[in-house]
Amino acid sequence: MLEILNEWDNASKEWIKSLEFNQLRTNILIPETLKMLGDIKGKRLLDLGCGEGGYSRLFSNKGAIVVGVDFSENLINEALRQNQNNEIKYYVRDACSLEGIGDGNFDFIVSAMCLMVIEDIESAVNEAYRVLKSGGVFLISILHPCFGFEDYFKEGPYQEFLSEHFGEPITFWHNTLSNIINCILNTGFNLKALNEPLLSDNDSKIPKILFLKFIK
Ligand SMILES: C[S@@+](CC[C@H](N)C(=O)[O-])C[C@H]1O[C@@H](n2cnc3c(N)ncnc32)[C@H](O)[C@@H]1O
């Protein structure tokens, strides 16, 4: 865990810089996330693995009461720096152990492009279940797990450069689609919707991103 935390802390500057050019996030991930969430005005929302807080600020601008957590202190510091009205609460936390956050606290939890970099997704999902209200929404986006692997059934870590601008690779965790979904269903969540958005890139014949929406 410490090694992966160091990877994100070390990559934090490059990650923040890369967001300026991240078309996937701007043109696909964010609009699809907002569409799948629906009305969040006045609702309590946890941004799980919030990074530098880009999504958190957006949710706050849409009227949600937002808490962002990430295990990278460097990324949380950047989120705090950009938290101009101090409206968003940010905490350095491991998603697998959300100490200090009470049970049934949130109407929505969004985990944007985070679960596929967590080794112990079972603990993270258990914590999400604990802090979500009954009837609350858990929205996940991940790299689609069904494509791009030579051996789809071989689960475990692999390393990848986030883009050519990064000096060091980041550790990702591959899990099969059934293991991801069954892990979340076994916690007690109900699957409400799946979404494999079409990328604007006309050459793409396979989905790159998978959204999963669950209800507690
Ligand atoms: C691909 S980035 C996504 C950040 C943000 N959600 C976004 O889309 O801009 C993945 C994030 O997950 C965070 N992360 C990875 N493992 C984590 C863990 N165990 N607990 C909390 N955050 C974690 C990283 O620090 C990083 O900010």
Q: Encode pLDDT of 28-39 as tens digits.
A: 999 999 999 999
Q: What is the CATH number of the domain that holds 204?
A: 3.40.50.150
Q: Is the pTM of this model over 0.85?
A: yes
Where do we find the tokens 């669950």? Answer: 214
Distance 116 CA to ligand 1 centre (A): 9
User: Which residue puts its alpha carbon closest to atom 9 of ligand 1?
Assistant: 51
Q: Of 2-6, 7-11, 16-20, 44-48, give the lowest mean pLDDT range.
A: 2-6
User: Which residue puts its alpha carbon closest to atom 4 of ligand 1?
Assistant: 51
Indicate the top mutation candidate among 98, 101, 117, 172 to test ligand 1's pocket, ranked by most ligand atoms within 8 A of CB. Answer: 117
Whether 30 contacts 214, CB under 8 Å: no
Q: How many domains does the chain have?
A: 1
Return the higher-pLDDT residue of 166 and 139: 139
Pocket of ligand 1 (CB under 6 A): 8, 49-51, 54-55, 70-72, 75, 94-96, 112-114, 117-118
Q: Is the pLDDT of residue 2 over 90?
A: no
- Could you tell me the end-to-end alpha-carbon distance of the chain, in angstroms, rounded to an integer? 28
Distance 70 CA to ligand 1 centre (A): 6
Distance 215 CA to ligand 1 centre (A): 22
Q: Is the pLDDT of residue 193 over 90?
A: yes
The 8-class DSSP code of residue 104 comes to T
Distance 201 CA to ligand 1 centre (A): 25
Distance 77 CA to ligand 1 centre (A): 14
Q: Is the pLDDT of residue 56 over 90?
A: yes
Residue 21 vs residues 14, 30, 96, 187: alpha-carbon distances, Å: 11, 14, 30, 37
Cα separation, 148 vs 120, in Å, equals 22
Residue 165 domain boundaries? 2-215
Mean pLDDT of the chain: 95
Q: Encode pLDDT of 123-160 as tens digits.
A: 999 999 999 999 999 999 999 999 989 999 999 999 99
Q: Which of 113, 127, 116 is nearest to 32 (CA)?
A: 113
User: Which residue puts its alpha carbon closest to atom 1 of ligand 1?
Assistant: 113
Q: Is the pLDDT of residue 204 over 80?
A: no
Q: Give the pLDDT band (50/70/90) at residue 166.
A: confident
Ligand 1 atom with the smallest distance to the CA of 15 is 2
Distance 72 CA to ligand 1 centre (A): 8
CA 54-59-62 angle, 5° bins: 130
